[in-house]
Amino acid sequence: MSLSLVGIIFVQAYYINNSLKNEEEQFTFNVKKALSFTSKNIEDREFKEYVLKFQDLLDQGVKPDTTAFRELYLKEEGSGSNEKLIYRNSILEENYKLSSSIFDIGLDSINIKKVLSDRETKVLKSSALESNSNLNLDAMMFEFGKLSKGAEIFYDTAYEDLSYRVPIHKRVTKEEIESLLKSKLNEDNIDIDFQFAIYSNDLATKIQSEDFELITESTYSVPVFQNKNDGSNYRLLVNFPKRNVFVQSSIIKMTLLSIIFTSIIIIAYTSALMQLLKQRKISEIKTDFINNMTHEFKTPIATINLALDAIRNPTVITDQDKVLRYLKMIKEENKRMHAQVENVLRISKLERNELNISKERVLLHDIIEDAITHVELIVEDRKGKIKVNLSAENSSVLANETHFTNVIVNILDNAIKYTPESRAPIIDVTTENVGTNILLRIKDQGSGMSKAAQKRVFEKFYREHTGDRHDVKGHGLGLAYVKRIVEDHQGHISVESEKDKGSTFIIKLPLIS
């Protein structure tokens, strides 16, 4: 599944990248097409202007300086036919010498030729040709007229030489270039700002838009005013400052949809994976909880069974002191199991917000001293000591005495349990006033916690395992209960710990006046 998801992402990325390349290629093609269109239109417009100037001069009836007339006859006679074919071609060439001021090229004069053509083809009977009588035409084709304007005007000083001498800013205007480019680009739906310029042999000319900047990766060019050998000294350059934004915007909708749908797939997959991991974790927690609760109940049940077996012994049942001692043992173990069950029930009620916590004005110091009495016998039994330094001048808080006593007992009990058996538990309990709050610190010299464990120590069922699973005592509910009760009292609890050096639990509660 993970491999398929990665494959989908790569395919989407490849498709988007490919689409972007295609859009860039299409953009480049359209821009080059617009440049070619502009270049050709400028050249055609200039050439037509020259032709019209010449034509106007010739149509004004200016007499030629020199005239030449040529006539060509061809006769063809078929061997098996009595028909003759006569072809005549007449050419009239008129030479004009005009002032070059008309074209503003800096020369004294230019020479122009006007060429007229007359062609005639006749098919005659041989007898008619021989008798020199009136010709009877079986067929006659007659054509007379001027040559095309492109062929009509020939220069002694060629068109390229004439235009070459005119400065570029007199041959084309910025407005013309901008209009042609814009119209052609709009046809291809390219509606973005552009800058243009005409360069002559890689040098800027007067023809350029405002703020033109030559940027290699986003500038396109085409030659303009090419000669008959397709060479040119001029290049029209166009630059698109927002080219990348425009190209990317063309696929933005597709990209966004692709990202959205891919994200949905990723979220769905991640959610499913998280659910699987969560279910697995819950299963592990449930198994761990059952195992540890079984372990917690195993010892007291075994102790109760042993005590009952001992009481049933005839030699013991008659000894009242021994019977009372065994009954006390049974009661203590039963009380221990009851406490474990109560812890679980309290957490369950807290989760469902069913635990009714009524608060009243109490002295935190009194609660601390009461909690210490619950564990001091265990500490003394292990040759340990609880050092108390209640230096806070004000310890009045709004709290539930029963639940907050359980909070402190839980922390003290953990301090005892997590002190190695080889060492006597040493616990420091201190208080101090900080502003409008009271701080309670409970410090032990136990096994301590890793950094990772400190982050999760208040989670339900969390216990840091080292070696055998049952080396870690309890069921992981005590500190979760502690945190929940402290927060319900508008307080805050944190832990500072170092591996093999012990832990310090810090509770901050607001004071009341």
Q: Which residue has the tokens 């030559």?
A: 214
Tell me the two tokens of residue 512.
Answer: 């009341």
Nearest Cα to 374, choosing from 322, 415, 326, 409?
409
183-192: pLDDT as tens digits: 998 888 888 8
Q: Which one-letter amino acid corresponds to residue 341?
A: V
The better pLDDT of the pair 324, 284 is held by: 324
Q: Which one-letter amino acid corresponds to residue 39?
A: S
Q: How many CA atoms lie within 13 A of 25 on its CB side?
A: 6
Asked if domains 252-347 and 358-510 share a fold, the reply is no
The better pLDDT of the pair 92, 282 is held by: 282
Alpha helices for 60-199 (secondary structure H)? 126-131, 149-152, 159-164, 168-171, 174-187
Residue 58 has pLDDT above 60, yes or no: no
SS3 state of residue 85: strand
CB 256 within 8 A of CB 264: no
Residue 336 has pLDDT above 50, yes or no: yes
Cα(485)–Cα(347) distance, integer angstroms: 10
Cα(216)–Cα(19) distance, integer angstroms: 23
Cα(466)–Cα(471) distance, integer angstroms: 7
Residue ranges per structural domain of the chain: 2-47+167-249, 67-153, 252-347, 358-510
pLDDT band at 373 (very low <50, low <70, confident <90, very high): confident
The better pLDDT of the pair 293, 436 is held by: 436
Cα(236)–Cα(224) distance, integer angstroms: 6
Query: What's the average model confidence in pLDDT over 122-131?
Result: 52
Q: What is the pLDDT of residue 106?
A: 53
pLDDT band at 469 (very low <50, low <70, confident <90, very high): very low
What does DSSP assign to residue 458? T
Report the chain's mean pLDDT, rounded to a whole number.
78
Q: Which one-letter amino acid corresponds to residue 240?
A: F
Q: What is the pLDDT of residue 136?
A: 40
Query: What's the average model confidence in pLDDT over 337-346?
Result: 75
Report CA 351 to chain centroid distance, whole Å. 40
CA triplet 278, 282, 287: central angle to 5 degrees?
A: 150
The better pLDDT of the pair 155, 513 is held by: 513
The burial class, CB within 10 Å (0-12 / 13-18 / 19+), for 190 is buried
pLDDT band at 363 (very low <50, low <70, confident <90, very high): very high
Question: Which residues, at least 6 apart from 433, have a Cβ–Cβ distance to it below 8 Å?
Answer: 392, 393, 394, 439, 511
What is the DSSP code string of 169-185? HHH--HHHHHHHHHHHH
Give the architecture (CATH level 2) of 358-510: 2-Layer Sandwich (3.30)
Instruction: Name the phi and psi angles at 157, rounded to 5.
Output: -100, 110
Cα(491)–Cα(495) distance, integer angstroms: 14
CB 202 within 8 A of CB 234: no
Stretch (H or E) spanning 363: strand 360-363
**What is the pTM (predicted TM-score) of this model?**
0.44
pLDDT band at 321 (very low <50, low <70, confident <90, very high): confident
pLDDT band at 280 (very low <50, low <70, confident <90, very high): confident
Lowest mean pLDDT across 37-46, 104-113, 163-172, 335-344: 104-113
pLDDT band at 202 (very low <50, low <70, confident <90, very high): confident
The answer regarding whether domain 252-347 maps to CATH 3.40.50.880 reads no
Residue 132 has pLDDT above 50, yes or no: no
